Structure 1
Amino acid sequence: MTILRLRPEDPADEAPVARVLAAAFARPDVATPPEVELVEELRHSDAWIPELAIVAEYGGEVVGYALLTRVRVCSDGDGGSAPALALGPVAVAPHRQRIGLGTAAVQAALDAAAELGERLVVVLGDPAFYRRFGFSRADRMGLTSPWSGLGEPWQALVLPPSTSDDGPPPRGEVVFPPPWSKV
């Protein structure tokens, strides 16, 4: 029986995670997909939250990955900002795709974020995939970003509040840390 194990990334996982990302995002026109470099740079930034970098081990092999990192939502009116999370990259090694490992890794990351009291997650991705977690169009929630013009793929999810008086989720421009500008 093959066992799936979902857990936070540890330093020994850096090379296996890079291999999963490289295989999942491989393109003939680039030697190293930008997602590999994105994760490496995020690891060394203020956006990194170690508990929210989730690896999926299947049969003892790292074959999946889901990452949540810190972003800020800057409100239009008062100049303030609120913390939020960006989901991505999410990857599964090609030889292990289509068996639910990506879904399991994303759900584990979202559950860990909710346990930490996070409120809002944004993602740019396939609406058919992310809808299963409760994501919906971010623009309809008052959230903008450099990717807002893409319509449905720009999505957001409000996590369950940690207390009954958390108030509404933030609205405004989602500001990503510098490593994201390369993707």
Structure 2
Amino acid sequence: MYIRRETSSDRDAVYSLLGAAFADQAAPGEPAYEIELTRQLFASDDYLPTLSLVAVAGEEIVGFVIGTRGWVGHVEAVGLGPLAVTPGNQRSGVGSALMHAVIGACDALDVPLIALLGSTEYYPRFGFVTSTDAGIESPEAEWGAHFQVRTLTAHRADQTGKFSYAAPFGIA
């Protein structure tokens, strides 16, 4: 398996992967929410192609993660997700490899912090903490500990405030 940047020719495989990975969360007979969200993120001015990665095994795309522009006040940051791995490759290190690659890429690009909404059991292993522990306010208070951030080398202690996602997330 290797990690590389996603390209427009990967889109159908990415949508298929998202559908399979999130099938259990979709309403019966409906496509996974993450498919349409990702379509909108790709079309957004806040899409960051350098932070849209796929994991490839053989000829198959088995994992995907996307980073889009976000903000803490006026400071540009990255909103991460969705992150998805094909069901047959989950718990095999694909998601971890994608996380390490995207965190390293963000750090190399001088991104001060990454924010995401996700598992409080999975993401802390990559250095994510509850956002309020880093002085970052969640876009939605009810997300609580599930809204997490990872500060990077370029982060300064005075970079605090409310996080805002890219417009396709529909959250100010």
CA distance in 2, matches of 1:167, 1:154: 20
Within a 5 Å distance, the mapping from 1:119-134 to structure 2 comes to: 119-134=112-127
Further displaced range: 141-150 or 12-21 = 141-150
CA distance in 2, matches of 1:30, 1:148: 31
Q: 2:133 aligns with which of 140, 144, 152?
A: 140
Contact 2:112 2:156 in 1 (8 A): no
Residue in 2 that maps onto 1:179: 168
Alpha carbons of 1:83 and 1:30: their partners in 2 closer, same or farther (altered >3 Å)? Answer: farther
Alpha carbons of 1:175 and 1:14: their partners in 2 closer, same or farther (altered >3 Å)? Answer: same
Q: List per-residue Cα deviations over 1:80-122 (Å, max 9, x = no partner).
A: x110111110000101111010110111111111111111001
Contact 1:23 1:94 in 2 (8 A): yes
Alignment pair present for 1:48 and 2:37? no
CA distance in 1, matches of 2:77, 2:87: 30
Q: Which runs of 4+ in 1 moved over 4 A?
A: none
Identity %: 34
CA distance in 2, matches of 1:167, 1:138: 15
Residue in 2 that maps onto 1:62: 61
Alpha carbons of 1:56 and 1:155: their partners in 2 closer, same or farther (altered >3 Å)? Answer: same
* Structure of larger gyration radius: 1
CA distance in 2, matches of 1:138, 1:35: 23
Within a 5 Å distance, the mapping from 1:150-169 to structure 2 comes to: 150-161=143-154, 167-168=156-157
CA distance in 2, matches of 1:46, 1:143: 24
Contact 1:158 1:169 in 2 (8 A): no
Report deviation, 1:57: 0.4
Cα RMSD (Å)? 1.5
Residue in 2 that maps onto 1:72: 71
CA distance in 2, matches of 1:111, 1:148: 29
CA distance in 2, matches of 1:84, 1:20: 26
Contact 1:119 1:169 in 2 (8 A): no
Relative to the length of structure 1, the TM-score reads 0.87
CA distance in 2, matches of 1:119, 1:148: 22
Matched positions, count: 169
Task: Tell me the SS of whatever aligns to 2:11.
Answer: helix
CA distance in 2, matches of 1:99, 1:9: 21
Task: Tell me the SS of whatever aligns to 1:98.
Answer: coil
Contact 2:63 2:95 in 1 (8 A): yes
CA distance in 2, matches of 1:132, 1:30: 35
Which amino acid letter does the alignment assign opposite residue 105 of structure 1?
A: L
Gaps of 5+ in 2: none
